[in-house]
Amino acid sequence: MSSTVELTKENFDQTVSENEFVLIDFWAAWCGPCRMFAPVYEKAAQANPDLVFAKVDTEAQPELAAAFNIQSIPTLMIVRDQVAVFAQPGALPEAALTDVIGQARKLDMDEVRKSVAAQQQGSAQAE
């Protein structure tokens, strides 16, 4: 029994909006590093049952991969309160994945939202 959720363009928005902490693994079946990362990701999912661990098959869901400008796989993205707080290509070792999850858990989302709002204001003024 997998503890990960398969994301599609049909359930993506609902999954991200209904859960405050979602990890997303962008992968493909033909990708060797993706297959090596899969058991590490699955183990982290089992160790963190309070979080949503999701997978996007970039071959089956090219629109989602394009929407997030995924250039290489695997890419791990973490979304908290509907804000992408982490995105990094490459298969993370178990210790690094655990560390990233810990850091994302500690984020002050009020501060993150203020920072995002300030960045959006700055880019709007620059246009």
For this structure, is 19 an active site residue? no
Q: Is the peptide bond before 74 cis (omega within 30 degrees of 0)?
A: yes
**Strands of 4-6's sheet in order across:** 4-6, 52-57, 21-27, 75-80, 83-89
Q: Which of 31, 56, 79, 100 is catalytic?
A: 31
Q: Which of 22, 34, 70, 101 is catalytic?
A: 34
- Rounded Cα distance, 81 and 17, in Å: 7
For this structure, is 107 an active site residue? no
By annotation, the residues acting in catalysis are 31, 34
